[in-house]
């Protein structure tokens, strides 16, 4: 059973899982455009900014949504998370990838009333359907432990950013993978930090990311949606 759950977590956090995350750089492209993304060290620095922000926002929401059956409370968690995302592109990216994630998980035959109802609500626009909340809602019916789900979510986010950075800098595959490997401690720290914060106190403090995300909206030449 443990191996089956691990396989499911690997599948839903894999870059090939259809969420559309490959089309988002979450501001990374604007860092590159400003000359602030030139090598692996720069990539690690920017991804660390994201991870530390996710620790106090996305991961808090994921943890709160895990195993929750109250649909109104799930909507509240989802909207609280959306409120921490200050730029239009970051909010849109989280919602669009979240809805795609939920729809893709549903095709695996995942069962659970809360999961089905939240998926329908996200599809209809009743709730934003943020990616982190989607992971939290899906983790329990998949049989995954909440801490394992958070680690998988953080790794997936970091890996997606590393892949974008590999194209934008550009970097060789081995160099990009080494940068991702060196971020493991930050992933561990972010997962741990998320335990300290309640839903009402979640926040995302990453002003550099927010500014770059705002500028990206007006960047004339773009490879990525965000």
Count of CB atoms within 10 A of residue 117's CB? 15
For residue 222, pLDDT beyond 90: no
Residue 115 falls inside a structural domain: yes
Residue 189 is part of which domain span? 23-216
Q: Average pLDDT, stretch 184-213?
A: 97
pLDDT at 136: 98
Residue 7 falls inside a structural domain: no
Structural domains in the chain (count): 1
Percent of the chain whose pLDDT exceeds 70: 100
Residue 3 falls inside a structural domain: no
For residue 220, pLDDT beyond 90: no
Residue 2 falls inside a structural domain: no
Q: What is the pLDDT of residues 18-38, one digit of tens each?
A: 999 999 999 999 999 999 999
CA separation for the pair 151, 188 (Å, rounded): 7
CA separation for the pair 213, 157 (Å, rounded): 16
Residue 169 falls inside a structural domain: yes
Of the pLDDT bands very low, low, confident and very high (cuts 50, 70, 90), residue 1 is low
Q: Average pLDDT, stretch 50-58?
A: 98
CA dist 111 → 106, 118, 137, 138, 183 (Å): 8, 12, 11, 9, 34
Of the pLDDT bands very low, low, confident and very high (cuts 50, 70, 90), residue 200 is very high
Closest to 33 (Cα-Cα) out of 208, 222, 172? 222
Closest to 76 (Cα-Cα) out of 201, 199, 197, 195? 199
Q: Average pLDDT, stretch 180-195?
A: 98
Count of CB atoms within 10 A of residue 18's CB? 12
Mean pLDDT of the chain: 96
For residue 195, pLDDT beyond 80: yes
Q: What is the pLDDT of residues 87-111, one digit of tens each?
A: 999 999 999 999 999 999 999 998 8
Q: For the domain that residue 153 is a member of, what is the CATH number?
A: 1.10.4190.10
pLDDT at 115: 97
pLDDT at 205: 95
Residue 164 falls inside a structural domain: yes
pTM for this model (two decimals):
0.96
Residue 6 falls inside a structural domain: no
Instruction: Find out whether the peptide bond into 170 is cis, omega within 30 degrees of 0.
Output: yes
Residue 139 falls inside a structural domain: yes
């Amino acid at each position: 059973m443990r191996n089956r759950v691990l396989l499911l977590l690997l599948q839903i956090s894999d870059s090939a899982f259809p969420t559309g995350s490959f089309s988002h750089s979450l501001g990374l492209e604007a860092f590159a455009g400003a000359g602030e993304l030139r090598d692996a060290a720069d990539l690690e620095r920017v991804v660390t900014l994201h991870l530390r922000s996710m620790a106090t926002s996305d991961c808090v929401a994921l943890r709160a949504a895990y195993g929750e059956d109250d649909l109104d409370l799930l909507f509240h968690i989802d909207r609280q998370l959306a409120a921490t995302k200050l730029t239009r592109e970051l909010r849109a990216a989280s919602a669009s990838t979240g809805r795609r994630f939920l729809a893709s998980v549903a095709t695996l035959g995942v069962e659970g009333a809360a999961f089905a109802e939240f998926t329908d609500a996200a599809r209809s626009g009743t709730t934003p359907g943020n990616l982190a909340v989607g992971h939290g809602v899906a983790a329990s019916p998949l049989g995954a432990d909440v801490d394992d789900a958070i680690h998988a979510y953080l790794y997936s986010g970091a890996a997606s950013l590393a892949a974008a950075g590999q194209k934008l800098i550009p970097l060789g595959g081995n160099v990009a993978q080494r940068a991702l490997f060196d971020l493991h401690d930050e992933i561990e720290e972010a997962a741990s930090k998320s335990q300290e914060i309640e839903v009402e106190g979640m926040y995302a403090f990453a002003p550099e990311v927010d500014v770059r995300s705002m500028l990206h909206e007006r960047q004339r030449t773009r490879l990525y949606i965000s």
